[in-house]
Each structure stands twice: as structure tokens, then as C-alpha cells.
């Protein structure tokens, strides 16, 4: 129960009623938004977990393979072999609007992808990467097969990693948005709307009180006037009476 500090008059009452209407409508909308965000978030987070388990499993395999590779080859050989592949991996980044939250989407970049329809992205990513799963960025002489194995495992992990990047970023952004929306809903529900209601009630009550005070005052005044009238009339009648008696 917290009444705002406003003058109890009709203007304020109208203003507050308008505010209350807006607050109620906003509350309903935000609540719907929050529910929908939650729904999206839940399905996304499940996918996120799946992908993460998948990626972690593959990377663990890769780590094992890499240990083997390092065991059979000197460090320098591995490093030189891998340096020959230069930084050429680029992804296409798109923005998507998910419940008015801007979220990124990453795709593996390929020239052929631009030409045909880009809709079915996971299929495209896996198709493109399948073509390149056998691609090894270094010459085979002097490099043992263990390193090839490790790199191939990484290649296999790449589509999942790209999707993980998209999904995990989206979950993070959604989580932030959900927290923000929930705070708004709660502040409207538990603070703004009750406050407005209390204030409106107190203003109406004060105005009714004023109304009653006014009525009683008018009645009192009317009584006073009547009394005066009666007294005047009585004295006039008395005078008339004595006049008649004498004459």
C-alpha cells in the first residue's frame, strides 16, 4: 500500500486512470513476451546441450588423437605442417530477429552456397563440410597418419561447433532478455499497478469525502438562511399583529 503524492483532483484522477490502463496492457503484453521467450529458450537450450555434448565428445577424441600424434612426431614437424594451412576459415554471419532480440547466425562460407537457396542451413553446412572432410592442409611426406586422424576428427566436429556457436550465443542473448522482461513484468505487477490502484482509490475516496462535506455545508447554509427567513417573517408578523391590536 503506497499512495503516490499527487493532488486529489479530477485531472490527476484521469491521468492516473490512463496510466493504469497503459500499465495493464503493457503488463499483459510483456507477460506474453516472457512466456514465448521461455518457450523458445527451452527448446534452444536443449539443442545447446545436445550440441555441447557432441562437441565435447569429439574434441576429447581429438585430444587423444593429438597426444598420439605428438608422441610419434617431433613438435616442430607438427607445427610446420599445421602452419602451412593459413587462416582462411571464414563464416557467414547473418542477423536474425527472434522475438525482437537480435541474434546472430553463422554458416560455413562457400561460394556455391551463395548461388543456391540458403534456407536449409544445417544440411548445407554438413554437405559443404562433408566435401572437405577429407581435405588435409599439408603434404603427406614426413607427417604421420596420427595427425591426419586428429585433423579429420576436428573436421567432423566443425559443423557441430559452428551450430554450437549460433545456438549458444542465441541462448545467452535470450537468457539476458528473459531476465530483463521478467524484471519488467514483476515491477509492473507488484509495484506499478498496485500503486496506481491504491492512488486512484484514495483520490476517489477523498473526492467523495469532499463531495459529502460540500453537501452538508450547503444543507447547513440552507438551514441558516431558512432560520433567518423564519425569524424575519415572525418579527414582521408580530409587528403586524400589534399594529392591528392597537388600532
Partner 1 sequence: MKLVKVAVIGDIDSVLGFRGLGMTVIITDNPIEAYKKLEELVKMQYGVIFVTEDLAEKNPAIFENHKEKLEPAVILIPSSRSDKQFAMNYLHELVKKAIGIDILKEDNNIT
Please give the residue ranges that form the binding site for partner 1 (CB under 8 A).
38, 41-42, 45-46, 48-49, 52, 55-56, 59-60, 62-63, 66-67, 70, 78-79, 82-83, 85-95, 102-104, 106, 109, 136-138, 150-151, 154-155, 158, 161-162, 164-166, 168-169, 171-176, 178-179
Phi (first) and psi of residue 120, to 5 degrees: -85, 85
Cα–Cα distance list, 120 to 21, 123, 125 (Å): 44, 6, 9
Q: State in angstroms the smallest separation of the CB of 34 from partner 1.
A: 10
Report yes or no: 166 and 106 within 8 Å, Cβ to Cβ. Answer: yes
Q: What phi and psi values does residue 221 have, to the nearest 5 degrees?
A: -60, -45
Q: Give the nearer residue to partner 1 in terms of CB position, either 181 or 199.
A: 181
166 or 199: CB nearest partner 1: 166
Q: Which CB contacts under 8 angstroms, 24+ apart, belong to 180-187?
A: 181/30, 181/33, 181/34, 181/37, 182/34, 184/30, 185/27, 185/30, 185/31, 185/34
How near is the Cβ of 131 to partner 1 at its closest, in Å? 14
* Residue 20 CB, nearest approach to partner 1 (Å): 28
In angstroms, give the least distance from the CB of 216 to partner 1: 55
Task: Identify which of residues 6 and 91 has a Cβ nearer to partner 1 in the complex.
Answer: 91
Amino acid at each position: 500500500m503506497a499512495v503516490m503524492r499527487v493532488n486529489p483532483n479530477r485531472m490527476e484522477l484521469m491521468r492516473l486512470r490512463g496510466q493504469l490502463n497503459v500499465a495493464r496492457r503493457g503488463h499483459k503484453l510483456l507477460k506474453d513476451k516472457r512466456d514465448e521467450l521461455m518457450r523458445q529458450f527451452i527448446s534452444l537450450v536443449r539443442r545447446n546441450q545436445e550440441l555441447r555434448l557432441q562437441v565435447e565428445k569429439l574434441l576429447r577424441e581429438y585430444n587423444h588423437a593429438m597426444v598420439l600424434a605428438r608422441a610419434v612426431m617431433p613438435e616442430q614437424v607438427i607445427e610446420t605442417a599445421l602452419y602451412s594451412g593459413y587462416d582462411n576459415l571464414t563464416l557467414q554471419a547473418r542477423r536474425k530477429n527472434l522475438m525482437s532480440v537480435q541474434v546472430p547466425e553463422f554458416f560455413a562460407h562457400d561460394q556455391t552456397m551463395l548461388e543456391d537457396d540458403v534456407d536449409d542451413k544445417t544440411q548445407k553446412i554438413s554437405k559443404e563440410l562433408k566435401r572437405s572432410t577429407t581435405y588435409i592442409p599439408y603434404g603427406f611426406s614426413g607427417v604421420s597418419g596420427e595427425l591426419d586422424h586428429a585433423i579429420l576428427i576436428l573436421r567432423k566436429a566443425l559443423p557441430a561447433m559452428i551450430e554450437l556457436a549460433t545456438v549458444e550465443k542465441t541462448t545467452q542473448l535470450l537468457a539476458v532478455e528473459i531476465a530483463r522482461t521478467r524484471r519488467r513484468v514483476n515491477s509492473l505487477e507488484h509495484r506499478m499497478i498496485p500503486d496506481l490502484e491504491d492512488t486512484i482509490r484514495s483520490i476517489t475516496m477523498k473526492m467523495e469525502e469532499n463531495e459529502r462535506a460540500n453537501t452538508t455545508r450547503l444543507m447547513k447554509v440552507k438551514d441558516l438562511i431558512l432560520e433567518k427567513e423564519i425569524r424575519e417573517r415572525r418579527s414582521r408578523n408580530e409587528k403586524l399583529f400589534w399594529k392591528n391590536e392597537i388600532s
